[in-house]
Structure 1
Amino acid sequence: MDFIDFDRHSTERIHTGKQRFLCRQCGYQFMENPTDKRIDQPTRELIDRLLLERISMAGIARAMQVSEQWLQDSVKDKSAQTATRAEVSPKKRQLTVQCDELWSFVDHKGNKQWGWLALDADTREIIEAHVGRRDRERAQRLWRSLPPVYRQCAVLCTDEWEAYQSMLPQKRHRVVTKASGKTSYIERFNCTLRQRVSRFVRRSLAFSKSLRNHIGLLWNFIHHCNASLPV
């Protein structure tokens, strides 16, 4: 059996401390007895499904036997590629939109971020979402980002939060209470989101460390829920 000659460099080590080797003939760098493994497509698809469940990143890494660093990098790439707009089909009926906000943390518990969501009360699909402070600017961004058909003729039902009253058109804005049931669908979605995605759970250590990943995984869940709705 032919053996490849290599030089051993005592100072050349990878981040785990393992020794790195260099081939004298071709200059290829490698490790002896590497433990890295290739993540196949079925495993990647299963991880994508697990991201839609209430499991921490560390829990997914343990269950799937992948490194947390690889998983973090994978989530970062997925968040960057996830569309942050909903695909809304044309509507020819009276439109009613339910709006609500839910809070969560990003990076640390002193950085509270609010998710602003708008839902079509008839189809139950999320038609728009924003993440940021709970102020007038975000309420206005939510309104301006709604699909044109909703801005033109939809009735919007919200709670009594002042930002809605100052930013939404008065003629089509309805301030309602929880007891009225006219925001029940969006409140149900918020509850489902908290139950299914650990980073949105209150009083949890599983909150997002990156705002971009936070927004990307929110939209990933929205696209999943919209696609799961009956036609």
Structure 2
Amino acid sequence: MTCPNCRSQNVVKNGRIHNGKQNHKCKTCGRQFVEAPQQKRIDSSTKGLIDKLLLEKIPLAGIARVCDVSESWLQEYVNCKYEAVPRTVNISSKKKGRLTLQCDEMWSFVNDKSNKQWIWLALDVITREIVGVYVGARSKQGARQLWNSLPGIYRQCAVAYTDFWDAYGCVFPKQRHQAVGKETGQTCYIERFNCTMRQRVSRLVRKTLSFSKKLENHIGAIWMFVHHYNASLQD
């Protein structure tokens, strides 16, 4: 018996693992292992590929098939990945002055369509960056959370164009808020981004079997795509 870590043959038996297979321990480096393990180690290149595929309209079952990993391992990996995604925007620096935002809310759901989760977004018209994100109810509280998610300079200086949903008018400063219709073109950039989100994030497709089962993963997937999108604009 040879240690897979240091190739030493100074190996002894060390009990059995949960499925009854003989466990071994290397007395040279301390590594414990079994002969012909059924579980394989996932290398960094495979994880890197998975990270890229998570940003495309591919369900987890499809990613598992492409990368030759188990769905249970992939789900655990994704849970940790989404949990670690920052929930604040990372954008280029801005100077005080006139800034223009386009804001909109997009329907989505978690687990079943009765559990509606609206995605509130704010986009900088000049840089096209997403500068505000909130996922929750389509209510005054949702508009408040979108406003709170904006960097301070936008709350101080920006003029925001939105649709006629009443919640915006209750939260956004009246002198810097403009409610407009789609025919004006004043919200065309954020509406186009909504389309991009639905085309790139599988759980946001209107008729799909890839919907989110956990709210935390739903929010994590949205934030992960937003960070990727903003970073692509700065390259």
TM-score by shorter chain over 0.5: yes
Question: Gaps (5+ residues) in structure 1?
Answer: 14-18
Find the residue that maps to 1:229 and give its secondary structure. helix
Query: Alignment partner for residue 72 of structure 1, among 67, 75, 82?
Result: 75
Kindly state the Cα deviation for residue 32 of structure 1 after the two structures are TM-superposed: 4.9
Question: Gaps (5+ residues) in structure 2?
Answer: 2-8
Query: Alignment partner for residue 207 of structure 1, among 193, 207, 211?
Result: 211
Contact map agreement 1:21 1:29 (CA 8 A) in 2: no
- Deviation string for 1:151-201 (max 9, x for gaps)? 111100000111112221111110011111111111111100100010111
Kindly state the Cα deviation for residue 95 of structure 1 after the two structures are TM-superposed: 0.5
Written as runs of structure 1 = structure 2, the 5 A alignment for 1:5-20 is 12-13=18-19, 19-20=20-21
Written as runs of structure 1 = structure 2, the 5 A alignment for 1:143-158 is 143-158=147-162
Residue aligning to 2:182: 178
RMSD (Å) for aligned C-alpha atoms = 2.5
Letter in 2 for 1:215: I
Contact map agreement 2:26 2:32 (CA 8 A) in 1: no
Kindly state the Cα deviation for residue 110 of structure 1 after the two structures are TM-superposed: 2.2
The whole-number CA distance in structure 2 between the counterparts of 1:58 and 1:44 is 15
TM-score, normalised by the number of residues in structure 1: 0.88
Contact map agreement 1:86 1:126 (CA 8 A) in 2: yes
The whole-number CA distance in structure 2 between the counterparts of 1:25 and 1:48 is 34
What is the number of residues matched between the two proteins?
A: 224
Contact map agreement 1:7 1:24 (CA 8 A) in 2: no
Query: Alignment partner for residue 83 of structure 1, among 81, 86, 95?
Result: 86
Letter in 1 for 2:79: K
Letter in 2 for 1:171: Q
Written as runs of structure 1 = structure 2, the 5 A alignment for 1:53-132 is 53-88=56-91, 89-132=93-136
- Deviation string for 1:11-45 (max 9, x for gaps)? x53xxxxx43355999x986553222111111111
The whole-number CA distance in structure 1 between the counterparts of 2:153 and 2:39 is 51
User: Would the alpha carbon gap of residues 220 and 168 (structure 1) be closer, same or farther in structure 2, given more than 3 Å must change?
Assistant: same
Find the residue that maps to 1:122 and give its secondary structure. coil
